Amino acid sequence: MMSIATFFCLPTHVFAATDNYAFVSATQATRFQTLTSQLRCLVCQNQTLADSEAPLAADLRHQIYIKMQAGQTDAQIVAYLVARYGNFILYRPPFVPATLFLWLGPALFLLLAGGGLLFFIRINRKV
């Protein structure tokens, strides 16, 4: 199932990267954890920044940590990363015209197909 194809991640390939950051509060630690697990590591294939052991992921976590200590908001930190790596780094794609169908498509499908089904039963009913 899982012959890993990537080279960068192979050496230690434990999926839990471990840093040793001191946070001012448990809330901030949770914020850090939540934020890094919503960002994509660019080196390792389909891993979150939180889980990746790639050196770049460690650097980026460090940057995020520093910015958090400096009082930056999540939005500011995300903007900093997107300016450098583009939307690719976000596991939650932004809601922009190009992703309109991504976000609304499934709901649209549910409405159309569900409505279509009820309509179909109603007009074809012969009991």
Residues that bind other proteins (CB under 8 A): 1-5, 8, 10-21, 29, 33, 37-38, 40, 42-48, 51, 53, 55-56, 59-60, 63, 82-93, 98-99, 101-103, 105-106, 109-110, 113-114, 117-118, 120-122, 124-127
Least distance between other proteins and beta carbon 124 (Å): 4
- Residue 65 tokens read as 């940590």
* Count of residues making up the chain: 127
3-state DSSP assignment of residue 48: strand
Least distance between other proteins and beta carbon 83 (Å): 6
Least distance between other proteins and beta carbon 33 (Å): 7
How far apart CA 45 and CA 37 sit, in angstroms, is: 14
- CB 43, CB 57: distance < 8 Å: yes
